Structure 1
Amino acid sequence: MLHAVRLFALVIIVFLGLLWGAAWLGRGEGEGVADSFIRQAATLFGHDVPAPSAGGVQMPQGLVLGGPFSLVDQSGRAVTEADFAGRFLLVYFGFTYCPDVCPTELGSIAAAMDALGEQAGRVTPVFVSVDPERDTPEVLADYVGRFHPQMVGLTGTPEQVAAAARAYRVFYAKVNRPEMTEYLMDHSSFIYLVGPDGRVRSLFRPNTDPEAIAQAVRGQLRGG
């Protein structure tokens, strides 16, 4: 039995290695290896890949991110996806005690909003905390106000936050180390561009240039 498991694992490793090599050799002009890998895998398993949006990660058709949620905003008001119906959103999951990555990504969202000019009125930047234990509405109100006046902070019960994170395929976990006085949260760090229907249209890797984000948003705004 152990031999069969090891053999199966070896086959998977070899398969992924071959697929990664095909992604490297078959990537299009300007296409990253990771995007090419997703495209190759999607084609292999029978999914189509939509045309890329500037600055964003291509996602196979049939992969749905986003959807219903029930959270609390920085004023303490209960909100759902219906409160943002008809609007485009730039969504980021993080926590206010984050020392570096979260402020950097929220700063990128703020810069992208500024770059949009008058079009920014059709977009709401949203920060969802994955640390509801510490990130109360009051804490969020102070935090999001430092980045952009339109930014909305969302938190909730641990169960509500977990449900929202699942909808967006967000990973997060508490990290405790002996040398730390406060725990940290390990979490994935994508920015999500959400359409008026509540579904993710595109997502952006950490350190994506704000102008690239703004360009992608402009393209989506033109398409409606």
Structure 2
Amino acid sequence: MRSLPNRVVRGWQRCLPGLLVITLLLPACTESPALRGMDLSGVDWGRDFTLVSHQRPPVSTEAFRGKVLILFFGYTHCPDICGPTLAKLAALQKELGPEAEHVQVLFVTIDPERDTPEQLRRFVPQFDPRFIGLTGTPEEIAAAAREYKVGYMSHPGSRTASSIIQHSGNVFVKDQRGRPRSLFANETPVVDMAHDVQLLLKSEMR
């Protein structure tokens, strides 16, 4: 995995406070000793959306009621966190064992111009064939990202295969009733992710 140039890192650090505004947008969250991720219970955002899957048909997050839904926003040309995060989510599925059949991972691109269904189909199943990649129009992607408080910013200039998009790297977890419940930071270990997912699978937390 190649590292970002110093100028990009400096730019990312300048943008970080604005891109990670999610930490300032959680006044409705409660603190729960049970969950190891950030408890999102009670937030008034994270509603359903519909995008095109890497298998072409439109997919709505509402279709996964009855499963724990895990969402990660990134892009296939990402030089740093996206691949490792998807690998971590694949490790999570292995950690869950048979319980993984009650979990669905969605990878939502923030780079719809390059991440066509074909590109997502080449990329996403490499990590786990059960994962679903989602894309759409730039407007649809922007609306979904806003709904989940995801910040992203494209580098100015031409959109080439090496273009970098700076973005927040949180992973969102929704319970079987479609409610946001937990948020994992990039450094959250797999064991803590598994703890929260299993907790949501076993009980209806109210």
How high is the TM-score relative to the length of structure 2? 0.80
Corresponding residue for residue 203 of structure 2: 223
Measured in 2, the distance between the counterparts of 1:172 and 1:101 equals: 13
CA contact (8 A) 1:52 1:58 kept: no
Contact 1:105 1:207 in 2 (8 A): no
1:198 aligned onto 2:182 = no
Judge conservation of contact 1:72–1:154 (CA < 8 Å) in 2: yes
Deviation of 1:49 (Å): 2.0
Residues 31-81 of structure 1, C-alpha deviations (whole Å, 9 max, x = no match)? xxxxxx98xx95xxxx6724144330134x542331121200001111112
Tell me the amino acid that sits aligned with residue 211 of structure 1: V
What's the offset of the Cα at 1:141?
A: 0.8
* Identical-residue share of aligned pairs (%): 37
Are 1:64 and 1:199, in contact at CA under 8 Å, matched by a contact in 2?
no
Matches within 5 A, 1:17-166: 42=27, 49-59=30-40, 62-166=42-146
Give how far 1:175 is off. Answer: 1.2
Give the 4+ runs in structure 1 shifted more than 4 A: none
Give the match for residue 11 of structure 2: none
**Unaligned runs of at least 5 residues, structure 2:** 1-22
**TM-score, structure 1 as length reference:** 0.74
CA offset digits 1:110-165 (Å, max 9, x no partner) = 11111000000000111000000000001101111110121010010111111111
The answer to whether structure 1 residue 208 and structure 2 residue 188 are counterparts is: yes
1:107/1:210 CA distance change after superposition, 3 Å: same
Evaluate the alpha carbon distance shift between residue 149 and residue 186 of structure 1 in structure 2; reply closer, same or farther with a 3 A threshold: same
CA distance in 1, matches of 2:119, 2:190: 26
Task: Give, in whole Å, the separation in 1 of the partners of 2:42 and 2:181.
Answer: 12
Q: Which amino acid aligns with 1:49?
A: T
- Selected match of 1:171 from 137, 151, 157: 151
Matched position secondary structure for 2:126:
coil
Please, which runs of 5 or more residues in structure 1 have no aligned partner? Answer: 1-36
In structure 2, the CA distance between the partners of 1:218 and 1:200, relative to structure 1 (3 Å rule), is same
- Inter-CA distance 51–160: structure 2 relative to 1 (3 Å threshold): same
**Matched pairs, number:** 180
CA distance in 2 between counterparts of 1:62 and 1:82 reads 18
Q: Which structure has the highest helix share of the two?
A: 1
In 1, Cα distance between equivalents of 2:106 and 2:161: 29
Secondary structure in 2 matching 1:211: helix
Could you say if the C-alpha distance between residues 181 and 98 of structure 1 is closer, same or farther in structure 2, counting changes exceeding 3 Å?
Answer: closer
Asked if the contact 1:176/1:184 (under 8 Å) is kept, the reply is no
C-alpha contact 2:74 2:169 (8 A) present in aligned 1:
yes
Q: 1:183 to 1:48 in 2, by over 3 A?
A: closer
Q: CA 1:127 to 1:48, structure 2 compared with 1: closer, same or farther past 3 Å?
A: closer
Larger radius of gyration: 1
